Amino acid sequence: MSADLDLSPPEVPEPTFLESILRYGLFLGAIFQLICILAVIFPTSKGHEQEEAEYTDSKAAEQMKKSKGPAPQIRQKPKKESKKKR
């Protein structure tokens, strides 16, 4: 009975050049995606935060300079037109 069972490993063809390129390309793509996701979750750039802080500080300073003068009145009441009585 044991002579009837074939326990040898199945014959698997060697991967072609295109298949191996595709396999390694998929691995590199997966690694790149993981790096991008981790970069979004754990931002490490402190320079960008400092640039934003300087930008908001300079913008606030400009608003302070502009607010020293009298504030212009933008509101204007619409003129009512009255009918002439004859």
pLDDT tens digit at each of 86 positions of the chain:
556 787 888 888 999 999 999 999 999 999 999 999 999 999 876 665 566 666 666 666 666 665 555 555 667 766 667 777 76
Distance CA 85, CA 3 (A): 121
Distance CA 17, CA 22 (A): 9
∠ CA(29), CA(32), CA(36), 5° rounding?
A: 140
pTM for the structure as a whole: 0.41
Instruction: Tokens 């302070």: give the residue.
Output: 64
Whether 15 and 23 have beta carbons less than 8 Å apart is answered as: yes
Q: Strands, E, within 1-86: which ranges?
A: none
